[in-house]
Chains A and B, each alone.
Chain A
Amino acid sequence: MSAQVPIAAYLILAAVLFSIGVAAFLIKRNLISIFMSIELMLNAVNLTLVAFAHMWHQVSGQIFVFFVMVVAAAEAAVGLAIIIAIFRTRETLNVDSVDLMKS
């Protein structure tokens, strides 16, 4: 058997991806980019679930990832429809311009 990878390495890779997603979520000012960083965070969490499923030799974690994927697809459909609706009324994609509830 060739060199093995510790499960902790996969978990740390997922932590790196999740942190990059958090930073992108906070730094980006474009609505679509912010939405994409949410997808990046979901993917990082999926990687931890798959790694744990591998660790326990069970498929329950993989089925959880399957449901997360389905919910992410539904979320993307609704979220992008909301982005289109915002763009139609405000003519901008910058989150700093969408401050209807601020004042």
Chain B
Amino acid sequence: MQLALFMIFGGLAVLAALNLLLQRHPINSALSLVVVMMSLAVLYWSLGAEFLAAAQVIVYSGAIMVFFVFVIMLLNAGEEERTTGSRAAYIVGFPGAAAIFCLLSFVFLSERNAFGSSNVGGYLNHVTSNISEVSSLLFTKLLLPFEVTSVLILVAILGAVVLARKEQ
């Protein structure tokens, strides 16, 4: 089951990411990105991160991507025109990405025996459920970073309001 889930949703994520790369219209890219995020949520679930799977669906594909689609609608973004403003990006683009992929996969494959393999559902050490473990750690040991995060979000809201406000 783990293998089937990985094959189906990993392949779906890669296909949707390629579609994001190849589509010209931003709305098509945004919808492909939603597919990537949903597939990643399934993979998180199969790795035993139930809370993150739910948060991925709610926060990423629910909130952030809807925000993207709203901005695309608001700005009436059409097809992007392929200008040749920066030739370097075109020349470096695909070879650079391929080089990063080769480096990463070389490191991962050379250490693959140390990584081991995964079981569906994911078992934690001496714990019953994933969510209780996450929340107890988040609200005891990591309480200060958690509260600082709320300040960060407040600053982000204020910044967004100030930046997007119409100039008088």
Residues of chain A touching chain B, judged by Cβ–Cβ distance below 8 Å, are 1-13, 15-24, 26-30, 32-33, 35-37, 39-40, 43, 46-47, 50-51, 53-55, 57-60, 62-63, 65-67, 69-78, 80-85, 87-88, 93-97, 99
Contact = CB atoms under 8 A, between A and B. Distances in A.
Given A17-B17, A24-B20, A55 B115 contact: yes
Chain A binding surface, main DSSP class: helix
Contacts of A70: 149, 152-153
Contact of B71 (A18, A59, A83): A83
Given A5-B3, A69-B60, 20 more contacts: A5-B2, A6-B115, A6-B116, A6-B117, A16-B101, A20-B14, A20-B18, A27-B21, A32-B77, A39-B33, A47-B44, A60-B137, A66-B52, A66-B138, A67-B145, A69-B56, A73-B64, A75-B156, A76-B67, A81-B163
Contacts of A35: 68
Given A8-B115, A94-B83, A74 B52 contact: no
For B47, B112, B166, B167, the residue with the greatest tally of chain A CB atoms inside 10 Å of its CB is B47
A6 B3 CA distance: 9
Interface string B125-168: 10100100110011000100100010011011101111110110
Nearest to B136: A59
Interface string B95-115: 011101100110011011001
Contacts of B21: 20, 23-24, 27-28, 37
A81 B80 contact: no
Contacts of A32: 26, 30, 68, 71-72, 75, 77
Measured as residues with beta carbon below 8 angstroms from the partner, the interface class of chain B is 35 or more
Given A27-B21, A94-B83, A2 B1 contact: yes
Contacts of B117: 4-7
A30 B71 CA distance: 13
B40 A33 contact: no
A62 B75 CA distance: 35
A71 B74 CA distance: 24
Nearest to B10: A13
B97 A20 contact: yes
Contacts of B134: 59, 62-63, 66
Nearest to A65: B52
